[in-house]
Structure 1
Amino acid sequence: MNLDYNAFSNSVLSAMVDDHFPAQTEFTPQLVLNSEDEQVKTHIEQELRTCSGFTFAVAFISNAVLTDLKVQFADLATKNIHGRILTSTYLGFNQPKVFQELLKIPNLEVRVLDQNADFHAKGYIFNKSDYQTTIIGSSNLTSNALIKNYEWNIKFSSLENGALTTKINQQIEAEWQTAHPLTSDWIDQYSEYYQSISSLKPKNVPVFQAEAKTNLKSLQPNKMQKDALQALQSLRQSGQKKGLVVSATGTGKTYLGAFDVQNFAPQKFLFVVHREQILNKAIKSFQKILGGPQSDYGVLSGNIKETNRKYLFATIQTLSQEKTLSQFDPQAFDYILVDEAHKTGAKSYRSVINYFQPQFMLGMTATPERTDDFNIYELFDYNIAYEIRLQDAIEENMLSQFHYIGITDYEFNGEPVINDQTPLKHLVSEERMQYVEQQLDYYGHDGDQIYGLIFCSRKDEAREVAKIMSAKGHPSIALTGDDSIQQREKVINEFEHGKLDYIVTVDIFNEGIDIPKVNQVIMLRNTESSIIFIQQLGRGLRKYPNKEFVTIIDFIGNYQNNYLIPIALTGDQSMNKNNLRSHVLIDQTIGLSSINFSEIARERIYNSINSSNLTLLSKLRDSYINLKNRLGRRPLLGDFQKIGSLDAQVLIDKYGNYHQFLLKMHDALNLSELEDHFLRLVSREFSNGMRIHELVLLKQLLERSSPYPQSDYLNELRSLHTYTDPTTISSVESHLNLSYFQPNDQKKYGSLPYVTVKNHSYMLDSRIVDMYHKNSYFRSLVDDALNIGFLNSQKYLSNQKFTINKKYTRRNVNSLLGWPTDQSSAIYGYKEKMGFCPMFVTYQKRVDIPDELNHNNIFFNSTTLSWYTKSPRRLDSNEVVRLFDGNKNDTIDLMLFVKKNDDEGSDFYYLGQVDFDFDSIEQQFRTIKGKEKPIVKANLNLRAPVDYNLFLNLTN
């Protein structure tokens, strides 16, 4: 990054004197705090990405946030960038474990001030090439301080001669000289001291429902469980006899069921489960809630048949046997609860469910989405009483924190070795397993003892990995589908008692296994399903006394399916590549949990998103069927948006309109050719919501049979606080009479002027009006497309034609500028017309790009970008003179649109208006096809700095 001293000074003046001075994001002093829009942690991560060295002076450090930062420390180590941390033993806050973890970081020097120094500083200093950035204030290096707490910090940049920077550096150096270097011997001594003072501290053991050691009266449902119980009660009051609760693994489904049974107060209750191990734990949970004598609780499994009890807990294998089932009266139970209800597609479950006639039946599952043809929603009468998804449960502190670490799998000479076809000998090679062991040790775990699960892709790999890890001093056993239930339970018992560090498995621990002690989950396999990924991650999310978090270490190979990782972690099923890229753009937090990627792993996922076909018909069909099963009817685009699954724009972009997609699903009704053309126009051109003007007009015209006065239309637009300039209104009219479009598009849209203007009023073609009122299927699809447009419009500023940081194609820009006809195919790098000149920059060029387009655009900082004219152009060329004069005289608006590379598709981020830096203009020459051609270079000054995360991503 080039340092512009004037820009630096202006940024300081903007913050301290007058905000009219032009400022740059990376230099402007600012208040840094935790809010919905930002976190202190994000600023620290941003600065680490761009520093040449760093010094942290912090009194308190937590192992959780240190686990996150280790990813970036490792990235910095590959660039030979080192840092320092000055901390203390003040108040005995820092655990010995934290110092042990600090000692693992090779590019980090740590010194410690003792208790008597009363060191309570909180400062973060980042060295850049020719300046320094400091964050100083109230935030220690802990998760709460950097993510959650109400903290105040000032972030500012200074040159090395700045008086404030000099003073801070002097203070740190003085303390650094008096502090103890961190060594193993020092940690041993501190551990003894820490143990001696720990006995004097009040115990801070987390209390939570699943493990609370308390009396029955104090065991109460949490907030989300209360909401679910109320929803179940309302469902029954409406006369429904079945309901389904979708509840993420570890969120207390069993307790929720027990609370609802308590509310219902049945004479007889049946709990159905698929494994006896789960059955026994369920009985204990119900006893805590329902109380009563032991004789009220019975088991029906194997040879145990205590069928005359008030509360009967049965395994499906025993209950479904005809001789057993026939012993019961179909109305024997008032309330039946089916655990792991996604398994009810099996014949055994259906025979039981079809046999009994309870007053109410509740199904509970964490994963209702099915890959077979069974519809779990239909079985429970489409009554989804409540949903507790993983991300919501983490936000509500119902689960243990997790710290996901996405790093590259083993590489040889910088090249990926592990991919979809890697043979076993490479998967368990000495080099790879040594690398794996190093990473497990580096990122560590919470607590003193490892309780780790390792997921592999193959049985033979699992057995070999277990042998190798055991040989390396980590007692491990492999469990696969080949092992008996008895062997599995024996191994789990040894694991829970600390006799094993790792259980290595393939898929048998995806669900139904409850080991709350797990504090490390290792992914040594490809992500083939987002559902399975979450099931495996969920093995570590159970809370347990003194367990603060679980570390998830994902070894990301060169897999085609890497795009599934952000889908699984964020729950984003939109299949919208822009959405998925945004999840990978920066490390994210969910509550106090975090998602962290190394730079190469981030790039690998990014490339997977770019290269993958997320709109394969098979993938879209799965999303469609899942939603249809859930609703019990043909879904609309709005249903996808409401449920938060597939992005409607994905279907529109691929098929032109939703009817064409429904034809692929064999679920469409009849549309005439004209109806299909009109629906295509509305869907393809207006449902993106970038301009609401057409949506508003069409909605009015479809609902009325009389002409719609232009004055009324303009008044309605003004009431919506949007712009009504004559150019835009003319553009709306040309879009709706199709004169705007090129012949090919006119043909797709029916070559018909749908809207005409007569006597200053708008009229919609009578055939469309007639079809709209007579064909309910057509009407539903048109209304759906309009509603999607209004919904999408909320993402854009209504009073401006473009919204900064949103993405637009050349086609969108041409339309929104109000140009009379679509000329987007001829815009290329820039085009001046009607007082506007949009400039399109692809920051990272393809290797095979033609010489005449291969401009070396460079962001010098967040407000300055180098730019080039077309070739051949000279300083006195008419086009160049017109652009420079137009910008200088404020008669041409220059608008900048940038994308990272062509892999990101055809849309560009709008970065706002820009101005030429006239001092930077110069004539240059470039060799094009063997001939020297003139070209003009100039720097563009952005009127508003680029969002810093976006700036780092574009320039990475």
Structure 2
Amino acid sequence: MTEKATIKNAILNGLYDRNYQAHQQFTPKLIGNEDGTIWETLRYELMNCKSFTWAVAFITSDILTPLKVILADLARQGIQGTLITSDYLGFNSPQMFAELLKIPNLKVMLTTIPGFHTKGYFFTHDGYSTALIGSANFTRAALLQNHETMLKVTSSQNSTLFSQVATGISHLQNESHPLTEEWIANYAKSWQSPKTSNGSNQSNRKIIPNQMQRAALIELQGLIDRGAHRGLVVSATGTGKTYLGVFAVKENRPQKFLYVVHREQVARKAMQSFQRVIGGSQEDFGLISSQHHDFSPRYLFATVQTLSQKKVLEGLSPQMFDFILVDEAHRAAAPSYQRLMDHFKPKFWLGMTATPDRMDNQDVYGIFDYHIAYEIRLRDALNNDMLVPFHYVGVQDYEANGEVIDETTNLKRLVASERVKYVLRQLEYYGYCGRQPRGLVFCSRQAEARELAKQFTALGHPAIALTNQDSNYQRQEAVKRLENGELEYLITVDLFNEGVDIPSLNQIVMLRNTESRIVFLQQLGRGLRKYPGKDFVTVIDFIGNYKHNYMIPLALNDDSSRDQDQARREVQLPQNIGVSTINFSRVASERILTSLEKTKLDSMAELRRAYHELEQRLGRAPLLIDFLQSGSVSPVVFARNKLLDNYGSFLVKMGEKVKLNRYENQVLTFITKELLSGKRAHELILLSLLKDQDVTKEQLISALEQNNCYVNAAVLRSLTDVLSLRFFDVKAGKQTKKQQYGDQSIIAVNQGIYQLNSQIKDSLKQNSAFQRLFVDVLETGLALSKKYDQRQQFTLYQQYDRKDVCRLLNWPLDVSAPMYGYRVAESECPIFITYHKKSPKQRNAIYDNQLQDGQSLRWYTRSPRHLSSAEVQRLLAGVDEGHQREKLHLFVKRSDAVGKQFYYLGTAKIDPASVREEMLGEKKKAAVGMNLVLEHPLPTTMAKTLFE
């Protein structure tokens, strides 16, 4: 199809009749922030255009960082664009204009047309153009959050619309002048920031619990009311942990209260917060530190170093306090804290921390009796507007003569003047929120920190290095100098990971390898505390050839699934958390993907580590349902692991005493390997009923309907085939799957009554370990089933392997092994396509399964096949008459590297005009090719996941 015909069909589909087959990338449509974001569409168009012109009235600095990442990549391709804007209503700030001037491949024009209020984004491609016109200005809120509507239209370049757009742009440019530094300077002299509705005096505002604090206080009080003596609150940095402690103390009204922390600076600040909320006399609040020993006040704030001294503790009664709060509670395993916890016997110990999961395997959870009163992680805090949004930028580290920074790079290269200049250019380009940078730089070595500080300062960016060799006083003075503008950067190694509060930070710079998700999030969190006038923080991560690069997208997306394919998507597709954005330059993305390819995320070592982390939190051996609820590891990872029969065998490897006989192990293996994924809930529902009692057919149907599961005679037969193991009675190597699972039916069906077999019934009664693991698989599987639409066989854009498809099509046998690319059955035909082949020499590489228009795939039968072949005739039955007999289900995966799982793209129709016999490959074997037209056009993100 020619380009003009493609665009013509797209216009007809979008504006005249949706039954026209059309390329979905070109079809006119409305774009908003409800299903995806407007920014995703703009980003895609930018990355695929030849040039662009935007005419936008209002622009905010808080969206320029992700734009700069893309334009930096486009600059390397020689692609440029034009932005036309204005000073209408004084909305656009001088700093925003200054940031625009930093982008070398962006020509910025200021229109003099009065009342300029346009919002139009125009992109030129080879032979066609795309326009987005509507309500969205180029602001973070408009492109990521607000309810906005944009009409996206693609037209050929000889269309009336294209001509009108070109004329309109030409007119705007004729009435515009270039943006210059001189114009910005003059504009800044008279510019006033638009007034906001928040004009109240914040210092006099009454402090009340926020959303997180209200929920935490309810949970905490419930814990106390149940008689617990210890509890832990886990809350991301900046979400108000200190004030939560104040509210908890205020509610409980202790006669004597103690607050313990490791630094006097933090203790003093906490005391001020308590005074502000609780009120009362100044004499009610006292400090215990190296210089202060007044134990008489009702509310005491102590450093652990002073209070834990033997001579101090000996003079204090164990019953002195009835409420003790330990801040930074992840330190509570240290000997100094343990001396306090062994000595004092309050009514309640409250621990508070942002990072309970420690790398030194200290059991923080156990110290607080595994009572997690409340937990809020980074993603939840961002989505609930408790933290300032961030714009993360992963850029490539400095490269010279083909050499890139890695773990072995010597100090001389790390502090080479050219690398330092490169780093400063990136910091300047990606910018910050505010009048000047207030940055915290993390590097690898202390000597590196000191040398970088010297060079930063020499190049006009005042900086100081801080290490653990510097005193607390020196650190405090350095922070003051940063906050009052004397310094631009503090450069350190790991000193500021936790416990130090610098709310005004507007840049976080990572000049070191990421080796720990915990440390990465700690360092990211340093900049997320809210501060007046701070709309965002810029996080710039310099990515070299580090073997642990793969940790970066996992940490940013809070992804613990151990799913390699999902991790790839997190690198390749745009991400945002609320209005925070995650951006990787093209080279940085490639380096992360290279690291990911060399890593096995679901290795036994990774599972062992995750198990012990969760065990620490729970105080017991975790079950599959615990992994699911904690978000630690997807339970399906255990099911897919070839080294494990079931979760019971994993527990044995972890040292747990789990006694199962051979048949119990086989039953657990069956329900784990075949049912746990929840892709069809029917078997799980039936087994959940049968563990307690026999079930009639009517009761089963009623239960399925109550759980929104589709029910018909075919699926009921399939249930029996699967649970009787007849479905698995096919050769699979030396034995059948049926033999692997015990070679006897799990259930019996007699006169419409379903029953568990007697051995399983006896085991459920007699073996508590088997009963616990059996129920755990069923509960976890049912929880996982919620992500699938159980009202139909398959759920769009979910993943299935060939065996799943055989079962969900209600076939009597698992014929997945010999099926390969497709199987023409009586009425339904699944088609499996691997889009990217490993090598042209591979057998299946001769089939060129091209995605042609976002809705149509070119597909070929196996060879040799002819139009006259019986299989092809069955496949084409009714196609010419418009009544296709075979229901085609299309499953696609990107490559064999992603494993056995295929994405379900829905049903497809054969385009009769596209069917023809062709000779394929070097040996010129006959096959029949045809276009498969998807019933559901592919979303852009799915098309990019599979076909780019």
TM-score of the aligned structures, taking structure 1 as reference length: 0.94
Q: What CA distance in whole angstroms lies between the structure 2 residues aligned with 1:132 and 1:916?
A: 30
Q: 1:511: how far off?
A: 0.4
Q: What CA distance in whole angstroms lies between the structure 1 residues aligned with 2:879 and 2:516?
A: 52
- Give the corresponding residue for 2:749: 757
The answer to whether the aligner puts 1:902 opposite 2:896 as a matched pair is: yes
Q: What CA distance in whole angstroms lies between the structure 2 residues aligned with 1:753 and 1:5?
A: 61
* 1:89-238 alignment, distance < 5 Å: 89-114=87-112, 117-194=114-191, 197-198=192-193, 202=195, 213-215=202-204, 218-238=206-226
> Do the aligned partners of residues 434 and 713 (structure 1) sit closer, same or farther apart at CA in structure 2, a change above 3 Å counting?
same
| CA deviations over 1:548-570 (Å, ceiling 9, x no partner) | 11100112222222221122112
Q: What CA distance in whole angstroms lies between the structure 1 residues aligned with 2:456 and 2:841?
A: 49
- Give the corresponding residue for 2:41: 43
> Do the aligned partners of residues 321 and 824 (structure 1) sit closer, same or farther apart at CA in structure 2, a change above 3 Å counting?
same
The answer to whether the aligner puts 1:841 opposite 2:833 as a matched pair is: yes
Q: What CA distance in whole angstroms lies between the structure 1 residues aligned with 2:14 and 2:590?
A: 35
Instruction: Specify the SS of the correspondent of 1:369.
Output: coil
Instruction: Specify the SS of the correspondent of 1:859.
Output: coil
Q: What CA distance in whole angstroms lies between the structure 2 residues aligned with 1:424 and 1:815?
A: 59
Q: What CA distance in whole angstroms lies between the structure 2 residues aligned with 1:388 and 1:700?
A: 35
Q: What CA distance in whole angstroms lies between the structure 2 residues aligned with 1:21 and 1:844?
A: 29
- Give the corresponding residue for 2:533: 546
> Do the aligned partners of residues 355 and 720 (structure 1) sit closer, same or farther apart at CA in structure 2, a change above 3 Å counting?
closer
> Do the aligned partners of residues 268 and 759 (structure 1) sit closer, same or farther apart at CA in structure 2, a change above 3 Å counting?
closer
| CA deviations over 1:814-855 (Å, ceiling 9, x no partner) | 222233322222222223233333222222221475255343
The answer to whether the aligner puts 1:32 opposite 2:20 as a matched pair is: no
- Give the corresponding residue for 2:460: 473
The partner residue of 2:910 within 911, 916, 927 is: 916
The partner residue of 1:424 within 383, 386, 411 is: 411
Q: What CA distance in whole angstroms lies between the structure 2 residues aligned with 1:872 and 1:423?
A: 60
Asked if structure 2 preserves the Cα contact closer than 8 Å seen for 1:610 and 1:904, the reply is no
> Do the aligned partners of residues 949 and 236 (structure 1) sit closer, same or farther apart at CA in structure 2, a change above 3 Å counting?
same
Q: Residue type matched to 2:78 in 1?
A: N
Structure 1 unmatched ranges of 5 or more: none
Q: What CA distance in whole angstroms lies between the structure 2 residues aligned with 1:935 and 1:500?
A: 71
Q: 1:875: how far off?
A: 4.3
The partner residue of 2:777 within 785, 791, 798 is: 785
Q: What CA distance in whole angstroms lies between the structure 1 residues aligned with 2:31 and 2:167?
A: 24
* 1:552-571 alignment, distance < 5 Å: 552-571=539-558
The answer to whether the aligner puts 1:739 opposite 2:764 as a matched pair is: no
- Give the corresponding residue for 1:646: 633
- Give the corresponding residue for 1:685: 674
The answer to whether the aligner puts 1:70 opposite 2:68 as a matched pair is: yes
- Give the corresponding residue for 2:653: 664
| CA deviations over 1:496-527 (Å, ceiling 9, x no partner) | 22222211111111001111111001111121
Asked if structure 1 preserves the Cα contact closer than 8 Å seen for 2:7 and 2:156, the reply is no
Asked if structure 2 preserves the Cα contact closer than 8 Å seen for 1:3 and 1:130, the reply is no
- Give the corresponding residue for 2:447: 460
Higher alpha-carbon deviation: 787-796 or 735-744: 735-744
> Do the aligned partners of residues 716 and 300 (structure 1) sit closer, same or farther apart at CA in structure 2, a change above 3 Å counting?
closer
Asked if structure 2 preserves the Cα contact closer than 8 Å seen for 1:454 and 1:505, the reply is yes
The answer to whether the aligner puts 1:813 opposite 2:796 as a matched pair is: no
Q: What CA distance in whole angstroms lies between the structure 2 residues aligned with 1:89 and 1:668?
A: 72
Higher alpha-carbon deviation: 857-866 or 350-359: 857-866
Q: What CA distance in whole angstroms lies between the structure 2 residues aligned with 1:491 and 1:721?
A: 62
Asked if structure 1 preserves the Cα contact closer than 8 Å seen for 2:51 and 2:81, the reply is yes
> Do the aligned partners of residues 13 and 825 (structure 1) sit closer, same or farther apart at CA in structure 2, a change above 3 Å counting?
same
Q: 1:20: how far off?
A: 4.1
> Do the aligned partners of residues 844 and 461 (structure 1) sit closer, same or farther apart at CA in structure 2, a change above 3 Å counting?
farther
- Give the corresponding residue for 1:802: 794
Q: 1:318: how far off?
A: 1.1
> Do the aligned partners of residues 42 and 30 (structure 1) sit closer, same or farther apart at CA in structure 2, a change above 3 Å counting?
same
| CA deviations over 1:308-366 (Å, ceiling 9, x no partner) | 22222111111111101111111111221111001111111111011111122211100
- Give the corresponding residue for 2:395: 407
> Do the aligned partners of residues 848 and 660 (structure 1) sit closer, same or farther apart at CA in structure 2, a change above 3 Å counting?
farther
Asked if structure 1 preserves the Cα contact closer than 8 Å seen for 2:846 and 2:921, the reply is no
Asked if structure 1 preserves the Cα contact closer than 8 Å seen for 2:876 and 2:884, the reply is no
Among all aligned residue pairs of Structure 1 and Structure 2, give the percentage whose two residues are the same amino acid.
45
> Do the aligned partners of residues 358 and 535 (structure 1) sit closer, same or farther apart at CA in structure 2, a change above 3 Å counting?
same
The partner residue of 1:776 within 747, 754, 768 is: 768
- Give the corresponding residue for 1:87: 85
The partner residue of 1:263 within 243, 251, 255 is: 251
> Do the aligned partners of residues 864 and 149 (structure 1) sit closer, same or farther apart at CA in structure 2, a change above 3 Å counting?
same
> Do the aligned partners of residues 373 and 409 (structure 1) sit closer, same or farther apart at CA in structure 2, a change above 3 Å counting?
closer
Asked if structure 1 preserves the Cα contact closer than 8 Å seen for 2:839 and 2:845, the reply is no
Q: Residue type matched to 1:723 in 2?
A: Y
> Do the aligned partners of residues 872 and 397 (structure 1) sit closer, same or farther apart at CA in structure 2, a change above 3 Å counting?
same
| CA deviations over 1:52-75 (Å, ceiling 9, x no partner) | 222111111001111111111122
Q: 1:935: how far off?
A: 4.0
TM-score of the aligned structures, taking structure 2 as reference length: 0.94
Instruction: Specify the SS of the correspondent of 1:398.
Output: coil
Higher alpha-carbon deviation: 355-364 or 589-598: 589-598
Asked if structure 2 preserves the Cα contact closer than 8 Å seen for 1:459 and 1:505, the reply is yes
- Give the corresponding residue for 2:304: 316
- Give the corresponding residue for 2:268: 280
Q: What CA distance in whole angstroms lies between the structure 1 residues aligned with 2:831 and 2:814?
A: 17
Asked if structure 2 preserves the Cα contact closer than 8 Å seen for 1:46 and 1:949, the reply is no
The partner residue of 2:421 within 431, 434, 438 is: 434
> Do the aligned partners of residues 206 and 420 (structure 1) sit closer, same or farther apart at CA in structure 2, a change above 3 Å counting?
farther
The partner residue of 2:316 within 305, 328, 336 is: 328
Q: What CA distance in whole angstroms lies between the structure 1 residues aligned with 2:517 and 2:536?
A: 22
Asked if structure 2 preserves the Cα contact closer than 8 Å seen for 1:320 and 1:351, the reply is yes
Q: 1:382: how far off?
A: 2.3
The partner residue of 1:396 within 378, 384, 391 is: 384
Q: What CA distance in whole angstroms lies between the structure 1 residues aligned with 2:31 and 2:261?
A: 50
Higher alpha-carbon deviation: 155-164 or 333-342: 155-164
Q: 1:143: how far off?
A: 1.0
- Give the corresponding residue for 2:576: 589
| CA deviations over 1:458-503 (Å, ceiling 9, x no partner) | 2233233223322322222222223333332332222222222211
Q: What CA distance in whole angstroms lies between the structure 2 residues aligned with 1:62 and 1:492?
A: 29
Instruction: Specify the SS of the correspondent of 1:937.
Output: strand
Asked if structure 1 preserves the Cα contact closer than 8 Å seen for 2:61 and 2:96, the reply is yes
Instruction: Specify the SS of the correspondent of 1:399.
Output: coil
Q: What CA distance in whole angstroms lies between the structure 2 residues aligned with 1:818 and 1:457?
A: 57
| CA deviations over 1:205-234 (Å, ceiling 9, x no partner) | 798xxxx7423x622222222222232233
* 1:324-403 alignment, distance < 5 Å: 324-403=312-391
Higher alpha-carbon deviation: 815-824 or 574-583: 574-583
> Do the aligned partners of residues 685 and 3 (structure 1) sit closer, same or farther apart at CA in structure 2, a change above 3 Å counting?
farther
| CA deviations over 1:132-168 (Å, ceiling 9, x no partner) | 2221111110111112222222222222233334323
Asked if structure 2 preserves the Cα contact closer than 8 Å seen for 1:235 and 1:243, the reply is yes
Q: Residue type matched to 2:589 in 1?
A: R
Q: 1:296: how far off?
A: 2.5
Q: Residue type matched to 1:191 in 2?
A: A
Q: Residue type matched to 2:133 in 1?
A: I
Higher alpha-carbon deviation: 156-165 or 658-667: 156-165
Task: Count residues with an aligned counterpart.
Answer: 939
